[in-house]
């Protein structure tokens, strides 16, 4: 039977439950803008009723759990999109820098500089005797080789920067792996006592999201909230242990392996995946193409120039115009730059003959690259517009990934986000619940008084 | 769906940010007058722009070549015209000398012819823009040398038969000179003058044979002059043609890469309205909360 004592006890528990409710609500309100915070809910249930001769009489409320509301399925989706976004964004960022080296389309780009050289040879063909037109050839050629050096140096330092960046990302990954594993251990410890450490789990999930921006991450969570994580199929966090990763130079490329093994971890996504693609294939690809252009100019111009004659008695012949072998080493041959009369314009040694100058100028229309299917300019323009398309594609990827991510965030937020309106309503609810419970105690108190007064 | 303050705020920021991105793009297009600043803005158009610029550039260079060629060939034509005039003078002298038997007179005529010889060698060594016009590709050495005793005229031993061509289009060349061999038959005309002079001096002069030879020489030089003039005309025609092509390319380039200001302004206006709307609704909705209505 519901004695006064048990009602007092019931009211106390009710008071307590509402107080906890206000506690959880204020915890939610204070963390409303904390990134990664998942809202918590106080789960209450009616306590086991007491059987009486009249039927079951309720015994009040019991607190069951403080539950964390979060959809781990959406988190997994977010990890995947994060990895794709990280990859596209990283590559887009770096390639935009590369694009700026080329300065196309403009009058200071490599295209304009190469045209400058061929035009200077055209000009020389109308004035093969004059030193002014020879000087112009030399100046334009020097401007062009400078541009080649500038772009080649840019690409080279870009590659070096990517190397640094890869190392710093690997460091970050390792520190995240360790943190996540530590948090995992804390969660496991608490779970063993049957309690879910909600805020620690939030922290761990935030770290996992951070890690997912860097690599393709796969996470599975068991019923105790314990996670197993793998990067590109290689398990890195499991059963309370973790494995760090490291970057190894293999020839001219970099491969990622676990710290304790030589088995390659094929990181394709995330910022690290993007950087590896850049370092291992994209940047070397553009370097090779640029070198192809420089190399064809060197060989083609030299082959023709070698057959021609400069000014003088006897006219100098058999000279190279360019020295070097690629975009970083291309230069006007020192003999030429020291004596402009060694520039060959004539085919037979007579000063007015312009056939070699014309032939060199005509090289711009010769299909010498890409298996003799592209002129130097077609090849170069193809490379530039290819770079442009690549960046355009990556920008589109970034936009669409952002859109998806935004949508996923909205979805996760609809589960895990704190709504202040809701919390305020809960606050009012719990507050009134508290007041009412207090009123019960008051009533019981008065009832005691009445009884005592009767004595 | 459960909508929290976070959802509203991030959705609002996302859309406002997107609108601002589009505004920045349009604003740059309007400020620079170009629809693309870098290849990634529109790779295909960038490729077209590069190609058009190359074509334009090449045509500008060909135009400059044509202008040079026109100058050279015009000068050659006029030099040869003057040379023909000298030969007409020579013919007059030869005709006059044919009607005179007086050896004193013949000596005077011989002196005139001698004068003509010097004059014509000088003319044949005309320079234009620092180049000897009739020397073939040997443009730095006078093509003809009159011996000190004026007994002979020698050509540059390296040859004066070189042909110079200027490129005026891809794979297309126009001759820009007439060499001494073609224009003046090597030293043949000068030798004729020397023969006339010597015949007058030695009294072995017979008019009719020389008249024929001089007339033939005149005709040859006149033909050469008109050939040079026709080269010049060709250069001129190419030059105007290139000008037209350049104008067309310019127009095409402008259509390809220039911002359509009216269209971009319209779009910008539209985005501005969108931004206003987003800011306005955001400003009204975001601060709203249950708290406003609780005491």
pLDDT at A354 over 70: yes
pLDDT tens-place string over residues A275-329: 999 999 999 999 999 999 999 999 999 999 999 999 988 999 999 999 999 999 9
How many Å lie between the alpha carbon of A4 and the closest alpha carbon of chain B? 37
Which residue stretches of A340-419 are H helix?
Answer: 355-362, 376-416
Query: CB count, 10 Å around CB of A276?
Result: 26
Count of A-B CB contacts under 8 Å: 180
CB neighbours of B21 closer than 8 A, spacing ≥ 6?
none
What pLDDT shows up at residue A2?
65
Query: What dihedral angle (degrees, nearest 10) is formed by the CA atoms of A252, A255, A260, A263?
Result: -110
Structure tokens at A93: 């960022």
Structure tokens at B137: 């590709």
Cβ contact B58–A115 (<8 Å): yes
Report residue B62's pLDDT band, with 50, 70 and 90 as the boundaries.
Answer: very high
Choose the most confident range, by mean pLDDT, from A99-108, B64-73, B98-107. Answer: B64-73
What pLDDT shows up at residue B222?
96
* Three-state DSSP string of B6-67: HHHHHHHHHHHHHHHHHHHHHHHHHHHCECCCCHHHCHHHHHHHHHHHHHHHHHHHHHHHHH
pLDDT tens-place string over residues A41-54: 999 999 998 888 88
Contact of B120 with B129, CB cutoff 8 Å: no
Angstrom distance (rounded) from CA B207 to CA B188: 18
Report residue A76's pLDDT band, with 50, 70 and 90 as the boundaries.
Answer: very high
Encode burial over A225-245: b for 16+ CB neighbours within 10 A, e otherwise.
bbbebbbbebebbbeeebbeb
Which residue in the set B40, B69, B129 is minimally distant from A392, CB to CB? Answer: B40
pLDDT tens-place string over residues B99-130: 877 888 888 999 999 999 999 999 999 999 88
* Three-state DSSP string of chain B: CCCCHHHHHHHHHHHHHHHHHHHHHHHHHHHHCECCCCHHHCHHHHHHHHHHHHHHHHHHHHHHHHHHHHHHHHHHHHHHHHHHHHHHHHHHHHHHHHCCCCHHHHHHHHHHHHHHHHHHHHHHCCEECCEECCCCCCCCCCCEEECCCCCCEEECCCCCCCCCEEEEECCEEEECCCCHHHHHCCCHHHHHHHHHHHHHHHCCCCHHHHHHHHHHHHHHHHHHHHHHHHHHHHHHHHHHHHHHHHHHHHHHHHHHHECCHHHHHHHHHHHHHHHHHHHHHHHHHCCCCHHHHCC
In 3D space, the residue among A286, A6, A74 whose CA is nearest the CA of residue B39 turns out to be A286
Which percentage of chain A shows pLDDT scores above 90?
A: 86
pLDDT tens-place string over residues B234-273: 999 999 999 999 999 999 999 999 999 999 999 999 999 9
Angstrom distance (rounded) from CA A214 to CA A208: 10
How many Å lie between the alpha carbon of A310 and the closest alpha carbon of chain B? 13
Q: Which of A76-90, A163-177, A210-224 has the lowest mean pLDDT?
A: A210-224
**Residue that the structure tokens 């190609």 belong to:** B51
What average pLDDT does the structure give for chain A? 93
pLDDT tens-place string over residues B8-49: 888 899 999 999 999 999 999 999 999 989 999 999 999 999
Q: How many residues can be counted in chain A?
A: 455
CB < 8 Å to A386, chain B = 43
Angstrom distance (rounded) from CA A307 to CA B50: 32
In 3D space, the residue among B252, B173, B60 whose CA is nearest the CA of residue A112 turns out to be B60
CA A154, distance to chain mean position in Å, is 21
pLDDT at B86 over 70: yes
Which residue in the set A105, A365, A424 is minimally distant from B46, CB to CB? Answer: A105
Q: Does residue A350 sit in helix, strand or coil? A: coil
In 3D space, the residue among A410, A74, A407, A415 whose CA is nearest the CA of residue B7 turns out to be A410
Cβ contact A387–B40 (<8 Å): yes
Interaxial angle between packed helices A131-192 and A110-126, expressed in degrees from 0 to 180 and rounded to the nearest 10: 170
Angstrom distance (rounded) from CA B258 to CA B267: 16
Which residue in the set A119, A348, A409 is minimally distant from B61, CB to CB? Answer: A119
In 3D space, the residue among A32, A268, A21, A347 whose CA is nearest the CA of residue B136 turns out to be A347
What pLDDT shows up at residue A179?
96
Report residue B295's pLDDT band, with 50, 70 and 90 as the boundaries.
Answer: confident
**Residue that the structure tokens 């553009």 belong to:** A286
CB < 8 Å to B46, chain A = 104-105, 384-385, 388
In 3D space, the residue among A44, A54, A46 whose CA is nearest the CA of residue A1 turns out to be A54
Average pLDDT of the residues in A109-127: 95
Contact of B31 with B268, CB cutoff 8 Å: no
What pLDDT shows up at residue A169?
96
pLDDT tens-place string over residues B196-243: 999 999 888 888 889 999 999 999 999 999 999 999 999 999 999 999
Terminal alpha carbon distance of chain B? 28
Contact of A74 with A415, CB cutoff 8 Å: yes
In 3D space, the residue among A202, A157, A188 whose CA is nearest the CA of residue A67 turns out to be A202
Residue predicted with more confidence, A173 or B100: A173
Average pLDDT of the residues in A70-77: 92
Report residue B289's pLDDT band, with 50, 70 and 90 as the boundaries.
Answer: confident
What is the model's pTM?
A: 0.86
pLDDT at A221 over 90: no
How many Å lie between the alpha carbon of A370 and the closest alpha carbon of chain B? 17
């Amino acid at each position: 039977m519901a004695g006064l004592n048990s009602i007092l006890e019931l009211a106390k528990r009710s008071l307590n439950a509402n107080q906890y409710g206000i506690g959880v609500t204020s915890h939610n309100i204070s963390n409303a803008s904390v990134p990664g915070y998942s809202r918590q809910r106080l789960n209450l249930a009616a306590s086991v009723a007491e059987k009486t001769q009249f039927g079951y009489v309720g015994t009040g409320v019991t607190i069951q759990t403080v539950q964390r509301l979060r959809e781990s399925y959406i988190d997994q989706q977010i990890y995947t999109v994060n990895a794709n976004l990280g990859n596209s964004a990283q590559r887009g960022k770096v390639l935009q820098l590369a694009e700026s080296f080329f300065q196309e389309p403009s009058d200071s780009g490599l295209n304009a500089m190469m045209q400058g050289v061929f035009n200077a040879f055209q000009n020389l063909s109308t004035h093969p005797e004059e030193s002014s037109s020879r000087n112009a050839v030399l100046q334009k050629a020097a401007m062009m080789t400078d541009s080649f050096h500038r772009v080649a140096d840019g690409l080279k330092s870009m590659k070096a920067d990517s190397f640094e960046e890869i190392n710093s990302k690997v460091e970050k990954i390792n520190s995240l792996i360790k943190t996540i594993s530590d948090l995992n251990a804390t969660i496991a410890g608490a779970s063993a006592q049957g309690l879910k450490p909600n805020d620690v789990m939030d922290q761990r999930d935030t770290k996992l999201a951070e890690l997912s921006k860097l690599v393709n991450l796969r996470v599975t969570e068991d019923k105790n909230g314990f996670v197993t994580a793998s990067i590109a199929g290689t398990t890195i966090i499991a059963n309370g242990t973790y494995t760090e990763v490291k970057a190894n130079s293999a020839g001219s490329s970099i491969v990622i392996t676990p710290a304790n093994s030589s088995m390659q971890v094929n990181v394709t996504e995330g910022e690290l995946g993007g950087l590896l693609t850049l370092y291992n294939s994209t940047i070397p690809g553009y370097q090779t193409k640029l070198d192809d252009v420089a190399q064809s100019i060197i060989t083609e111009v030299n082959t023709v120039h070698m057959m021609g004659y400069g000014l003088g008695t006897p006219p100098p012949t058999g000279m190279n115009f360019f020295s070097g072998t690629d975009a970083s080493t291309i230069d006007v041959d020192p003999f030429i730059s020291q004596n402009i009369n060694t520039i060959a314009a004539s085919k037979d040694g007579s000063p007015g003959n312009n056939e070699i100058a014309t032939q060199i100028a005509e090289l711009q229309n010769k299909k010498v690259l890409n298996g003799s299917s592209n002129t130097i300019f077609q090849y170069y323009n193809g490379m530039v517009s290819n770079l442009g398309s690549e960046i355009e594609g990556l920008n589109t990827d970034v936009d669409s990934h952002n859109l998806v991510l935004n949508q996923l965030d909205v979805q996760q937020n609809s589960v895990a986000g704190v709504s202040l309106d809701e919390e305020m309503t809960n606050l009012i609810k719990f507050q009134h619940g508290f007041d009412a419970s207090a009123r019960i105690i008051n009533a019981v108190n008065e009832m005691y008084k009445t009884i005592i007064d009767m004595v | 769906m459960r909508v929290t303050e976070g959802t509203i705020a991030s959705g609002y920021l996302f859309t406002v940010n997107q609108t601002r991105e589009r505004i920045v793009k349009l604003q740059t297009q309007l400020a620079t007058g170009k629809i693309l600043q870098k290849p990634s803005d529109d790779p295909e158009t960038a490729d077209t722009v590069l190609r058009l610029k190359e074509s334009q550039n090449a045509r500008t260079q060909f135009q400059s070549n044509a202008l040079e060629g026109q100058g050279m060939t015009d000068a050659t034509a006029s030099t040869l015209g003057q040379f023909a005039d000298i030969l007409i003078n020579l013919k007059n002298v030869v005709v006059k000398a044919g009607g005179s038997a007086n050896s004193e007179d013949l000596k005077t005529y011989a002196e005139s012819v001698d004068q003509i010889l010097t004059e014509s060698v000088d003319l044949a060594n005309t320079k234009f823009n620092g180049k000897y016009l009739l020397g073939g590709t040997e443009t730095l050495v006078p093509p003809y040398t009159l011996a000190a005793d004026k007994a002979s005229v020698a050509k540059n031993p390296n040859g004066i038969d070189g042909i110079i061509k200027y490129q005026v289009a891809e794979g297309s060349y126009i001759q820009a000179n007439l060499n001494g061999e073609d224009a003046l038959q090597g030293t043949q005309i000068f030798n004729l003058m020397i023969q006339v002079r010597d015949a007058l001096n030695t009294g072995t002069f017979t008019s009719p044979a020389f008249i024929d030879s001089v007339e033939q020489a005149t005709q040859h030089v006149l033909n050469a002059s008109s050939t040079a003039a026709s080269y010049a005309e060709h250069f001129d025609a190419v030059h105007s043609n290139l000008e037209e092509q350049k104008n067309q390319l310019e127009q095409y380039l402008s259509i390809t890469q220039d911002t359509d200001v009216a269209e971009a302004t319209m779009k910008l206006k539209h985005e501005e309205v969108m931004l206003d709307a987003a800011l306005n609704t955001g400003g009204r909705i975001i601060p709203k909360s249950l708290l406003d209505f609780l005491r």
